Structure 1
Amino acid sequence: MSTKKTNDDLLERLNLSRRSFLKTTAAGGAAVVAGGLVELKTAKEANAFAYEPYPKDDELETVVTSCAHNCGSRHMLVAHKWKDVIVRLSTDDGRYQRDGHFGKDSLEEPQLRACLRGRSYRQRIYSAERLLYPMIRVGERGEGKFKRISWDEALNFVSKKMIHLKDTYGPTALLDQSYAGASYGVLHKSDQIEGLLGRFLGMFGSRTNSWSVPSYQATTFSSRMTFGTIEDGNEDDAFAHSKLMIMWGWNPAYTFHGGNTFMYMRMAKQRGCKFVLIDPQYTDSASAYDAWWIPIRPNTDAAMMAGMAHHIFTNNLQDQAFIDKFVQGMDAGTMPDWAEGKENFNDYILGTYDGEPKTPEWAENICGVAAKDIRKLASMYAETKPAALKASWAPGRNAYGEQYNRMAAALQAMTGNIGILGGCAEGVGKAWHAEAVAYPYDQYANIWFQSIKSDRWAHCVLNYPNVKREEIGLWQRQDETDGQIPNIKGIFWQGSDWLNQLTNINKDLEAIKKLELVVCMDSTITPSGLYADILLPIATHFERHDTALPWYKGHYYIHRPKVIEPMGESKTDLQVFTELAYRIGGDVFGKAYNPKASRDYFHVNDNVDEAYLREWWETKVIPHQHVDMSWDEFKQRGVYKFNLDQPHVAFRDQIENGTSFQTASGKIEIFSGQLAQITDWKKTMYGYEIPSIPKWIEPWESLNSPKIKKHPFHLISPHPRWRTHSIFNNCSWLRETYEQEITVNASDARRLGLKTGDIVEVWNDRGKCVVPVYVTERCMPGVAVLHEGAWIDLDENGVDRAGNPDMLTLDEPSPAGAFAYNTVLCDIKKTDLEHRPGWDKLATSRAHVFRRDL
């Protein structure tokens, strides 16, 4: 008999209707079953609720805004709010743009739909880790002991300390470690070059800058040397016209550049495009496009590309007409007159000078890819037009990663796939140009008094003054001879969780103990924040007025109004820097830093922000980009999507119309005249020689190294799908879907006696972390995959229990500035050490530590 029938029979015998029974029990009436008897107590019907009834959709206000984090795209979010609380988030459904309607989604104006990360932003806004009040450290660095103070106390402390450090140690005392984490727009901008912090410290007169970008410095260097610009990308709709797509270390299912990449690649697939993946692991993107997977040993990409180039040259498959017209240094016939006798790319590939031809067999011994597969891929790429070799950033995050990117550019050029629809010159991938700056961008915008490679700050601090300029990538200023080693005594973290993200975290932790001022400006209490002296609560992008920019790809703007009032005592970055400017330099500094604001901007900022944004739209966007939508209409609709006459293709104008490339020669420089003419490398930011043509250079750690006897696994740390670097690590909705785990091949697991779910320790001479293991055939033997960005959680011995791979990475200076995140050897074993799937020693939430009466 069913439970329902039993209950109905019971109610019938008691002469109670279901409705009256529910009323009684809801009001608190007790039904006591004893010896088969039921006693009912009479009670009134309940009229109260434990919470307010959930509002209906038509009772909610909807506000168009966007994501703000640094994932490669900034998609539309639609906030549904009840009074001053965001109840839920949806995304673009076609109705918000001009001539829009529900369901509108065209190739010319596609919907800008947010992913799971963006859709879960509400939990991040209202998380237990939300930083709501200024805090000052009262314990040891990293101990997590802070007490609440007023804004007045916090800003007085910071301003006085800044003045003291500048007066005592000079103009290099303060290190700018801003980055485009979650504080990025046209007005409220955290950025190494155009950011609010850089402008503030530059005007103050004490700033050491960081010149290398962790994500893609290798390809930035390569693109500037080869093309003279980092704007080497197509808009992603161009991918729909490719007949061959080579995804070299690229997983667009996880990393989004442009917003609709996956849609256009699906279109290419439907039109017959063939897909190839070169990667140590078989990714979800490879699965989605039924790609030919070519597993490759990490850090050996340039060698495989050299083998492909050899096959193309020796079989006369190169596009010689393209080379003769557009390329410098591909062969003897394209070398500049002044470089007679210097090695060209063809000489290197054929072994003319070193006696070692870079044959597919030579490459096979290095990269582990069969020579026949190298030949097959080389023929496919050379003989298919148009073909896109998408040289992603990840293989460049290695020792000498710039050689991989330069070798890719050589292949792109020798096959004539640059500047044509369906081809690809990426690279950096920066495509359509946005008008990116709304705040005053003037002579103070990027002043610095010394600049070093970003992940060498700890080395500089720990070894000062006995530091050689090449050890830290010291930038050569025009007004100096030997270069001043910066005496760093303080750090500002703005829009960045760099302590958690830079290489060799243990070295960073050692260095930070020597600093006299560490300021963390964030909306969330991050691992970096635990090591700060001062925590300043920054409003999220839902709590300030701005406009969202696409990031390197995507041709649109999204209005970002203030959706809710700032929580707690949060302020915007611009409010904080403006107030500090007034406190440090009075009206002169304050007005110079924020010309449209008065002294009360720290308390009332809406009209000033509106004025900056309106001026930006009316004086930059409308005239420069021929936009026919007023600022008021843009605000009302929430989005402006550009409808381009044709797909944006990098260097189309150079190839079709003969416009010069932005290099000294006016051509694609496979032989770099700039590099070839450097005589003293120690007086450059690079510090060490970089060959003038692309070459294979053995990295300091790889599966070909004798070091594998001690550490037999090569560890790579790609971007996860469920975080953006470290952002969203504390979002339980996403953590329920994906877990931080280390992926190994089934054969390695059998050898080590491991099965999926076992807890392992991963270690080398630099550090150790603990994490569950995932066993699969989708990863090549000898390689381990551990996604970057997990929040560190250190035990008493300094072991990370949360699985952050940067406990094991090395901060050695790769000459062109590449971060060697993926140049890591390690070992793995089953362990009894504690694993903590949460973060830091305060378990699931660190919020309670700030409620102490300290």
Structure 2
Amino acid sequence: MERRSFLKMSAALSAAATVSGCNSSSKDADVVPPQPPVGEEKVNWSSCLVNCGSNCPIKVFSRDGVITRVETDHEVEDVYGLHQVRACARGRSLRQRTYAPDRLKTPMKRVGERGEGKFVPISWDEATQTIADNLQRVISQYGNQAVFRSYGSGAYYGFASNANFNRLFNLVGGCLNAYGNYSWAQQMEAAKHTFGTGSTSGSSTVTIEDSDFFLGVAYNPNEIRQSGSGEGYDFVKALERNPDLKIVMIDPRYTDSMLGKEGQWLPIRPGTDAAFAEAVAYEMIKSGWVDTHSLDFISKHTVGYDAASIDAQKAEFEASGDATKVEYAKHMNSEENYRDYILGLGIYSEPRTPEWAEKITGISAAQIRAIAKDLMNAQRPYIVVGAGVNRQANGEQSMRALYMLSVLTGKLGNRGVSNGELPYMTGMYRAGIPAGTNPVKETISFFTWTEAVVNGKEFTARTHGIRGTEGLDDKLGTNIHFIFSASDSSLLNQHAEINNTAQILRDAQDLFVVSCDCWMTPGAKFADIILPDTSWLESNDLVDNSYAAGSLGYLTAMSAAVDPMWDCKSMYEAAAMIADKMGVGAQFTEGKTEADWLEHLYEQTRTNSRNSGVVPAFPATYKEAQQIGVFRKDMKLNHVALQSFVKDGKALNTPSGKIEIYSAELAWRAANWTQEDVTGVKGDTITAIPQYTVTWDSYEDTDTATDYPLQLATYHTKGRTHSSYHNVPWLREAVEDALWMNQFDADAYGVSSGDKVVVYNARGAIEVPVKITPRVAPNVVALGQGAWYLADTKGRTDDSGRPLDIGGAVNTLTRYQPSPVAKGNPQLTIRVQIRKA
């Protein structure tokens, strides 16, 4: 029932009670009972634009300029295909998030030491002029390569997004760009060097309905993609249509994507996934099954299974006349072939047997053999590897090792079969504000920005994987001196090794930092200027279904439920003001207001052919679309991984055009890039074939195992997306930030559920409560990532004198150590010790 109807009914019942309960004298009969206010309630469509991959539409109710409640989508009959997009608890808490006590209300400038959080209010004119002056100073003194627009995935806006700042920087000469991301950096490189793809080209989730065996490694869509439009919903629906499917899940933690949906859960030690994959491969090869069932497929479609295939490819490269391929050929070595490596032949001395893997992974040899048997018996095996595997030390190797299992089956290209990559998804088209072209050609890894603040001038392709330079040893030539951070918690909270990051930001004398956000995040406290952004419920926009919304495509024409509060402005307005101060205001706006841009971009969206078949049909104007709110389209996703390659002979985007078990490009990088393993960083090495490596802080790392005997597994919780929504108390009550421990470990440490413990290592210490549960493997503890760093107000410190983090941010404990190929983040490789608080 609508609240207005309830109040009217309440008033009517109150009046009836008054009449029946009083005498009927004329005096009393003239009394009019009090009426509660029942003013008109306004309804607007908005969206939850957090980076979970769904962008769920939100129905917002307000009265007299105040948001009264939030509901989710229930506008259509809930029939799968054009179903309701039901938001999760995060989207439904947007009223609390919008009115959070830590909302930024006005521009501010820093007056204390960086990180102290001491600011004073200033005007927008002063804020944007200060930003423009410092931006121009840095460009003039150091060049545009010294300007960095950091990652910023905290708001997947449509129009009023980070793209506005990209547009601004490109108009003033560009900025140092970044490749990769915190989610998928290493798996993107692994997929590129194996399949020539980008890591999300696996078979669509809907095709699981035709599979006969499902193997999921660290695959957890029901927590990560939990909305009614997300991958988790597609996964559940596919399982409903295939009730006899055998499902095996491998994960250190029993996740909500299991909960009885799986046939078997195999807890594995973090970082040992490659060893598991190699032992399964050993069974498939040693038994002779590959020779009799899949060798024809392997010989035709791959390079690197055996020595002969490498020699043949090397000769082809040498004869190609392509300078790059000829150079690759110089570093190819057929002795380093996959078959010999797995069987322990040739230059390799140790076969990758199930018994070998059992000691490493914690999964028994018998269970490994059973998985291998299931794969060999399956006609349509669907294998998928979650992104958690790639966020480990040398995660490139782990991903490539697991991808090999799909290759060995010889079934790729058929419906119901996938190649280990995350499922392919696509959505409706939405036009966005054009950002223009960045004149700066140099690009660094997203993860190396803190190092670039200190030593970016020495970055080269050989040492740091920098792209866009002519030679391997050409230097970037400047440090980062200007950071623009918008909707970005990687400025501190989501980056590795928080204490080190904070120290770098504090020590950088000639660094200017801008934060544009809605809340006083841990990273915003390190800014020189803070700009208050408008929240989603205060915004007009046009947004799509993002990148992981599954089979349903949709667009939401957002309309502001309330006017921008306090002195907040949208990213478009902020960027336009800075552009004006930089002398490029006219080029930035092109004479259009924000409303003009939205009408213009809506028209481009409406007429795009990809959006044919939308329900309901798009009206003529954006304002009319805002009245309707949500537009849907069944995307009919039926992508089959590598089908065009296997069935149609279309070459892959690899140097050989085939699936590369042996990567000639990685062989070249191994010979030419600086590898940390050479200088003593265990496991950070590049190899041409996928190989399990013993890395720093891994299960087999004897250097740290004594001092820090527990492996810490981190995961995404239902109460946050990364660090977004942490400041909503409702969600903290619904999803407890507690350290999961097996009873075996709890007994050894003498702790019970609810006890507070200090979790620590050489990089820092956090204080969190304990939860005893059988849902985590022995000798492994688990903690949700994304909690906001908060230094202890009582002055307590870790063993090195750094503040104890009572907020429980996992990145207080993680290590900054860029991975060898992607130069990505290995933040899921952590060893710790605990003690009672």
TM-score, scaled to structure 2:
0.85
Q: Is the 8 A contact 1:471 1:813 kept in 2?
A: no
Matched residues in 1 for 2:676 and 2:42: separation? 52
Q: Is the 8 A contact 1:399 1:818 kept in 2?
A: no
State yes or no: 1:776 paired with 2:776.
no
The letter of the residue matching 1:675 is L
Q: Is the 8 A contact 1:430 1:553 kept in 2?
A: no
Shift of 1:403: 1.0
User: 1:740 aligns to what?
Assistant: 737
User: 2:280 aligns to what?
Assistant: 308
The letter of the residue matching 2:404 is A
Aligned counterpart in structure 1 of residue 481 of structure 2, from 454, 468, 489: 489
State yes or no: 1:325 paired with 2:300.
yes
State the Cα deviation string for residues 400-445 of structure 1 (Å, max 9, x = none). Answer: 0011111121111221343332222242444326546521154x1x
User: 2:8 aligns to what?
Assistant: none
Matched residues in 1 for 2:756 and 2:546: separation? 40
Q: Is the 8 A contact 1:457 1:472 kept in 2?
A: no
* Secondary structure, aligned partner of 1:815: coil
State yes or no: 1:220 paired with 2:188.
yes
Matched residues in 1 for 2:637 and 2:712: separation? 42
Identity %: 30
Matched residues in 1 for 2:131 and 2:460: separation? 31
Aligned counterpart in structure 2 of residue 153 of structure 1, from 120, 126, 149: 126
Q: Is the 8 A contact 1:79 1:563 kept in 2?
A: no
Bigger shift: 388-397 or 456-465?
456-465
State the Cα deviation string for residues 434-474 of structure 1 (Å, max 9, x = none). Answer: 546521154x1x44454333333323334566777666443
User: 2:764 aligns to what?
Assistant: 767
User: 1:557 aligns to what?
Assistant: 554
Aligned counterpart in structure 2 of residue 671 of structure 1, from 640, 644, 662: 662
CA shift in 2, pair 1:645/1:488, >3 Å: closer
Q: Is the 8 A contact 1:492 1:520 kept in 2?
A: yes
State yes or no: 1:791 paired with 2:788.
yes
Q: Output aligned runs, 1:413-812, within 5 Å.
A: 413-432=407-426, 435=429, 437-442=431-436, 444=437, 446-448=438-440, 450-463=442-455, 472-475=464-467, 477-478=469-470, 481-498=473-490, 499-513=492-506, 514-515=508-509, 516-542=511-537, 543-554=539-550, 555-564=552-561, 565-584=563-582, 586=583, 589-595=584-590, 597-598=591-592, 601=593, 605-619=594-608, 621-622=610-611, 629=618, 632=621, 635=626, 637-644=628-635, 647-678=638-669, 681-682=672-673, 690-706=686-702, 707-795=704-792, 796=795, 797=797, 798-812=803-817
User: 2:374 aligns to what?
Assistant: 380
User: 1:11 aligns to what?
Assistant: none
User: 1:115 aligns to what?
Assistant: 88
Q: Output aligned runs, 1:352-391, within 5 Å.
A: 352=345, 353-391=347-385
Shift of 1:267: 4.0
CA shift in 2, pair 1:462/1:483, >3 Å: closer
* Secondary structure, aligned partner of 2:350: coil
CA shift in 2, pair 1:46/1:827, >3 Å: farther
User: 2:3 aligns to what?
Assistant: none
The letter of the residue matching 1:509 is A
Matched residues in 2 for 1:94 and 1:239: separation? 29
Bigger shift: 302-311 or 384-393?
384-393
User: 1:10 aligns to what?
Assistant: none
TM-score, scaled to structure 1:
0.84
Q: Output aligned runs, 1:50-199, within 5 Å.
A: 53=37, 59-95=40-76, 103-106=77-80, 108-185=81-158, 187-190=159-162, 195-199=163-167
CA shift in 2, pair 1:75/1:317, >3 Å: farther
The letter of the residue matching 2:571 is D
Q: Is the 8 A contact 1:76 1:91 kept in 2?
A: yes
Matched residues in 1 for 2:754 and 2:766: separation? 16
Matched residues in 2 for 1:686 and 1:151: separation? 49
Matched residues in 1 for 2:791 and 2:498: separation? 11
CA shift in 2, pair 1:512/1:245, >3 Å: same
Shift of 1:308: 0.6
State the Cα deviation string for residues 369-411 of structure 1 (Å, max 9, x = none). Answer: 1111111111112321322211000011111001111112111
The letter of the residue matching 2:129 is N
Q: Is the 8 A contact 1:388 1:417 kept in 2?
A: no
* Secondary structure, aligned partner of 2:581: helix
CA shift in 2, pair 1:777/1:730, >3 Å: same
Matched residues in 2 for 1:437 and 1:347: separation? 51
CA shift in 2, pair 1:396/1:86, >3 Å: same
Matched residues in 2 for 1:168 and 1:788: separation? 39
Shift of 1:784: 1.1
Shift of 1:289: 0.7
Matched residues in 2 for 1:62 and 1:411: separation? 51
User: 1:243 aligns to what?
Assistant: 212
CA shift in 2, pair 1:637/1:766, >3 Å: same
CA shift in 2, pair 1:222/1:810, >3 Å: same
Q: Is the 8 A contact 2:669 2:686 kept in 1?
A: no
CA-atom RMSD in angstroms? 3.1
CA shift in 2, pair 1:622/1:109, >3 Å: closer
Structure 2 spans left out of the alignment, 5+ residues: 1-15, 23-27, 315-331, 679-683, 798-802
The letter of the residue matching 1:73 is S
The letter of the residue matching 2:296 is A
State yes or no: 1:824 paired with 2:830.
yes
The letter of the residue matching 1:350 is L
User: 2:222 aligns to what?
Assistant: 253
Q: Is the 8 A contact 1:203 1:447 kept in 2?
A: no
CA shift in 2, pair 1:642/1:178, >3 Å: same
CA shift in 2, pair 1:802/1:525, >3 Å: same
Matched residues in 2 for 1:653 and 1:829: separation? 55
Matched residues in 1 for 2:635 and 2:104: separation? 42
CA shift in 2, pair 1:480/1:290, >3 Å: closer
Structure 1 spans left out of the alignment, 5+ residues: 1-16, 24-41, 96-102, 832-854
Shift of 1:606: 1.2
Q: Is the 8 A contact 2:457 2:476 kept in 1?
A: no
State yes or no: 1:410 paired with 2:404.
yes
Matched residues in 2 for 1:388 and 1:811: separation? 34
CA shift in 2, pair 1:422/1:261, >3 Å: farther
User: 2:325 aligns to what?
Assistant: none
Q: Is the 8 A contact 2:60 2:71 kept in 1?
A: yes
Matched residues in 2 for 1:156 and 1:806: separation? 34
Matched residues in 2 for 1:700 and 1:461: separation? 25
State yes or no: 1:200 paired with 2:181.
no
Shift of 1:544: 2.6
Matched residues in 1 for 2:717 and 2:760: separation? 21
Matched residues in 2 for 1:200 and 1:754: separation? 54
Matched residues in 2 for 1:704 and 1:784: separation? 17
The letter of the residue matching 1:291 is G
Bigger shift: 696-705 or 394-403?
696-705
CA shift in 2, pair 1:256/1:626, >3 Å: closer
User: 1:291 aligns to what?
Assistant: 263
Matched residues in 2 for 1:54 and 1:684: separation? 69
The letter of the residue matching 1:324 is S
State the Cα deviation string for residues 142-173 of structure 1 (Å, max 9, x = none). Answer: 22222221110110010001111222233332
Bigger shift: 225-234 or 115-124?
225-234
Shift of 1:363: 1.3
Q: Is the 8 A contact 1:744 1:773 kept in 2?
A: yes
User: 1:36 aligns to what?
Assistant: none
Shift of 1:53: 4.0
